[in-house]
Structure 1
Amino acid sequence: MKLHIHMSPADALAAQPADEDVYIVIDLIRATTALTTIFDQGAKRVFAADTVEQAREAAQLKPGRLLCGERHARALPGFDYGNSPAQFSHSDLSNQELILTTTNGTRAFYACPEHSVRLAGCFYNAQAVTAYALAYARRQDSNISIVCAAENGNFALDDTVCAGYLAQEIQRQQPDIIPHESVTAARGLYQLYPPPGLAAYCHSAQQVIDSGLGADIDFCMRQNASGSIARVVGKEPETGLLILEPALKLQAEI
């Protein structure tokens, strides 16, 4: 079994990713932390949209779903929610279906192979998501790739540091896994910039703070506080959006 970290979705695509591999997508600040929190709060399903237009059209086709998202850390006009894990953590989302579009995170799921196992990872659910990824990879004798959402296609320190922590967790649980040198690099960055101090060096964190959502940064730096894992389970034919459901409901598959 091999472990690889892709520093951006473009890196993942260039590597010609394999359908049978397990992918952990990270957009630490804030999409994958928000997805984890949404399922903590009882949501039934999230539909990930690549663009704002896709999200608005899907909301018209499927009234009743909560419309959520942001661009450049700012909430979108007419949307029910932004992309704030702190706000979601105080919301009752029991049995709700949400449509979510974000600047970087939701797009990263589309960079992974269409029929692969795709999971949302972050500091907040690190132990849970790595254990699930390993169990699935063992079951199908495949490799694990961690895909950083990056920031507008560019290297993002926060995602890479989080990837280093998740890789550390995977290696702790599976000591004989074969790491790519990208793992060594990301783990080194985690040692240099551990949370919560990491946030002081990240442009994405400053953007969120400037938008008046500083509580989100503290939330995104929390480690191993959730057992929720968002997993892509398919694509909705009517809207073309990716469907994410809580992976724990699928534990019987493993």
Structure 2
Amino acid sequence: MKLHIHMSPADTLAAQPGVEDVYIVIDLIRATTAITTMFDQGAKRVFAADTVEQARKAAQLKPGRLLCGERNAQALPDFDYGNSPAQFAQSDLSNQELILTTTNGTRAFYACPEQSIRLAGCFYNARAVTACALRYARKQHSNISIVCAAENGFFALDDAVCAGYLAQEIQHQQPDINCHESVTAARGLYQLYPPSILPSHCHSAQQVIAAGIGDDIDFCMRQNASDSIAQIVGKEHETGLLILERIANDPG
């Protein structure tokens, strides 16, 4: 079993990844943290849209779904919610279906092979999502790839640091896993920029703080507070949106 970290979706595509691999997608600030929180609050499904236009059109086709998203940390006009995990944590989303589009995070899921296992990872669910990825990888004798959403196509420190922490969790649970040197680099970044100081050094955190939603940053830095694991389970035919559902901690 091998472990690899891709620092951007473009890196993932360039590597021509295998459909049999297990992928953990990270957009620490804030998409994958928000998705995890949605399921904590009882959401039935989350539909990931690649673009704002796709999200709006899907909402018209499927009335009753909550429309959520942002661009460059700003909530979108006429949307029900932005992309705030702190706000979702205060909301009752029981049995709700939500459509989500974000600047970077939702797009990263589309970079992974369509038939592969794709999980949403972050600090908030790190231990749960890595244990789940390992169970899948052991079951199908495959490798694990961690995919950083990056920021507008460029390296994002927050995602890389989180990837280092998730890799550390995987190595603790599977000490004999064969790690690419990208894992060494990401783990080194986690040691240099732990959550206590990370927000001061990454643009995405500063952008969110400037938008007046600094509570989200504290929320995104929490580690292992959730057991929710969101997985892509398919694509909706009518809308083309990727479907995320909460799965059991033990996928069998």
Asked if Structure 1 and Structure 2 have the same fold, meaning a TM-score greater than 0.5 normalized by the shorter chain, the answer is: yes
- Give the CA RMSD over aligned residues: 0.7
Deviations 1:89-108, CA, capped at 9 Å, x for gaps:
00000000000000000000
- Which residue number in structure 1 is paired with residue 183 of structure 2? 183
Q: Does 1:119 align with 2:119?
A: yes
Code of the residue aligned with 2:35 in structure 1: it is L
Q: CA deviation at 1:171?
A: 0.3
1:204 counterpart letter in structure 2: S
Structure 2: distance between partners of 1:133 and 1:80: 32
Alignment of 1:1-254 (within 5 A): 1-248=1-248, 251=250, 253-254=251-252
* Cα-to-partner distance string for 1:39-92 (whole Å, 9 max, x where unaligned): 000000000000000000000000000000000000000000000000000000
Q: How far is the alpha carbon of 1:15 from its aligned partner?
A: 0.2
Q: 1:227 aligns to what SS in structure 2?
A: coil
Deviation, structure 1 residue 154: 0.1
Indicate the SS of the match to 2:218: helix
Deviations 1:175-194 (A, max 9, x none): 00000000000000000000
Conservation of the 8 A alpha-carbon contact between 1:67 and 1:81: yes
Deviation track 1:199-219 (CA, whole Å, cap 9, x = no partner) reads 100100010001100000000
Residue 196 (structure 1) shift? 2.1
Deviations 1:109-164 (A, max 9, x none): 00000000000000000000000000000000000000000000000000000000
Q: Secondary structure at the match of 2:135?
A: helix
Give secondary structure in 2 for the equivalent of 1:226: coil
Indicate if the aligned counterparts of 1:130 and 1:166 stay in contact, CA closer than 8 A.
yes
Distance in structure 2 (CA, Å) of the matches to 1:128 and 1:210: 31
- What are the superposed Cα offsets for residues 224-254 of structure 1, whole Å, 9 maximum, x if unpaired? 00000110000000000000000227x4x42
Secondary structure of residue in 2 paired with 1:243: strand
Q: Distance in 2 between matches of 1:68 and 1:130?
A: 26
Give identity over the alignment, percent: 83
Task: Give the gaps of 5 or more residues in structure 2.
Answer: none
Counterparts of 1:11 and 1:167 in 2: how far apart (Å)? 17
Look up the equivalent residue of 1:209 and give its one-letter code: I
Could you list the per-position Cα deviations for residues 1-42 of structure 1 after superposition, in whole angstroms to 9, with x for gaps in the alignment?
000000000000000010000000000000000000000000
C-alpha separation between the residues in 2 aligned to 1:54 and 1:248? 29
Question: Structure 2 CA distance, aligned partners of 1:72 and 1:44?
Answer: 27
1:87 alignment partner AA: Q
